[in-house]
Chain A
Amino acid sequence: MTRDWKQFFPFLISPFLLLVVWWWVAAAGWYSDDVLVSPGAVVATLEELTANGELALHLKASFFRLLTGFGLGALTGVLFGIWMAISPRVEAFALPLFQGLRQVPTIALIPILILLLGVDEIFKVIIVTKAAFLTVALAAYDATKGVSKNYFEVARIYHLPKTTLYRKLIIPAITPPVFTGLRIAFSRSWTILVAAELLAADSGIGQMMQLGREMFRLDVVMVGVVITGLVGFSIDKLFKWAEIRLIPWQAAVKA
């Protein structure tokens, strides 16, 4: 019990402090209640939105876009990244474009994508796909390029068949860095999705916040902020948890 407490204590300090400052500033009355909502009011709104099913509806819409877009982008990204690393021709064609595109923030593409795709579901899915694809493809490319040539020499010495080369060398070797890429891509996808929903959507957690802002319901906006943070944090933790279980040799390699 004491050990658990000691272990979690440092992690709890900073959120707790933030909460105290927030509560204190709100209670001090420097800002109107409508502008700076108190933590208590946010909790009340959260309960309300949960009870009437509105929050669940928005979250469902957001998660659908996130999972579809990320799934598509991550899968094609991994495959394309490996392909680009293995084929000198694909590398020569695609890499400079990739390196350039990675410098453009996805959010800068939102206006163009809205013009091209409209504001429907497809636009949100595509923008998430794009964010995931670029990040994951580059992670897979770097990872494949980074596989030690020492291992490939072992493969040559033992005449490893091509399937074995992929199954027992390339794929396991790139799994840890690709996993890190997936984790980063997922958090980017989530951020960009909320941003896109803020700009143009009829549902979703971002749209809920946007609507709240328009109706001057900043308590709703704050619920969105908290939920966005919690979702991103949980998913990140989930990836880390899965990483340790899926890649048992990794802990020791890192150490």
Chain B
Amino acid sequence: MSRPKTALSVINEAHADHPGDGLTSVRSSGLRGGQHLSLATASAVLAVEGVSKTFQLNGKALTVLSDFSLAVSKGEFISIVGSSGCGKSTLLRLIAGLDSSYDGNIVWLGEQVSGTSLDRGLVFQEHRLFPWLTVEQNVALALESSGLTQQEIDARVKHQIELVGLSGFAQAYPHQISGGMSQRVAIARALVLKPRLLLLDEPFGALDALTRLKMQQELQRLWETEGTTSILVTHDVEEAVFLGDRVVVMEANPGRIKRVVDVDLPRPRHRTSAEFQHIKDDVLSDFIEIS
């Protein structure tokens, strides 16, 4: 319920011209190019401007991302939804700084992104925990370059593990815990640095449906306590609507934005409510025919 103040105000401003009664607040904007950007960039912590990415595949150029633009405000939760191959994971890798060859601009806190930064955390689809380190050691790994003292590291790791509800498992190895727990450790590893931007690349994609629901609730709770600006990439429309302040719908070949849907529902959201269903169906209609 209680979102951090800054995030709340930013988002309220963005929605000021759409007084929500639930149904009418479902707004789609054909986000394209510059004119929209100039409006949003002012308060944006992250500005993605006209980003294109081309891979060379067997000597042929393959455009996976074409002219992608998006401005993200402080504290905002953005969901990016699209079928596989629409370039959504590539986009996250570019924002994370894992891949620096692209056209266009990615501006984070006023500076062009080049290389990775401890400011920007990334959670992968696979948990990518080191199997030879315990839960605690895996989380502490993120703080190796933080310059904190061992005492501070210990305290922060302990606190972060508590936050994701794994206190009893600090000494366990990844193979001794479930897939859902491993992914919680991966999220703890990303959050322990207190990044100002959290990138989530289909973090629950490999989990079973029930665990996934639980993890979505948990992520929502974490986001509300920490207020971290977040971008979630997913192919699960319900997940995107449940978590996102805005849902960016992407289409493939080449990967580009189809539209951006505002989700102006109070949190925590109820998946069964008519408003939620309406927005979900609206987004789903981009992918399948709904009779």
Contacts and interface: CB of A to CB of B under 8 A. Distances in A.
Range, interface on chain B: 20 to 34
A161 B128 CA distance: 18
Contacts of A150: 124, 126, 128
A252 B145 contact: no
Q: Is the interface of A mostly helix, strand, loop or mixed?
A: helix
Main secondary structure of the interface of B (DSSP, over half): loop
B175 interface: yes
Contacts of B137: 168
A173 B130 CA distance: 9
A110 to B, nearest CB: 40
Contacts of B98: 153, 156-157
A161 B144 contact: yes
B175 A157 contact: no
A170 to B, nearest CB: 11
Given A158-B144, A249-B175, A172 B118 contact: no
A247 B175 CA distance: 13
B34 interface: no
A157 B195 CA distance: 11
B121 interface: yes
Interface in A140-198: 150-151, 153-154, 156-161, 164, 168-169, 172-173, 175
A12 interface: no
B116 interface: yes
A96 interface: no
Contacts of B141: 154, 158, 160, 164, 168
A161 B133 contact: no
Interface in B109-164: 116, 118, 121-122, 124, 126, 128, 130-133, 137, 141-142, 144-145
23 contacts: A150-B128, A154-B124, A154-B141, A156-B98, A157-B96, A157-B98, A157-B116, A157-B122, A158-B118, A158-B145, A158-B189, A159-B118, A159-B144, A160-B144, A160-B145, A164-B141, A168-B130, A168-B141, A172-B130, A172-B133, A249-B173, A249-B174, A252-B176
Interface of A: 150-151, 153-154, 156-161, 164, 168-169, 172-173, 175, 247-249, 252-253
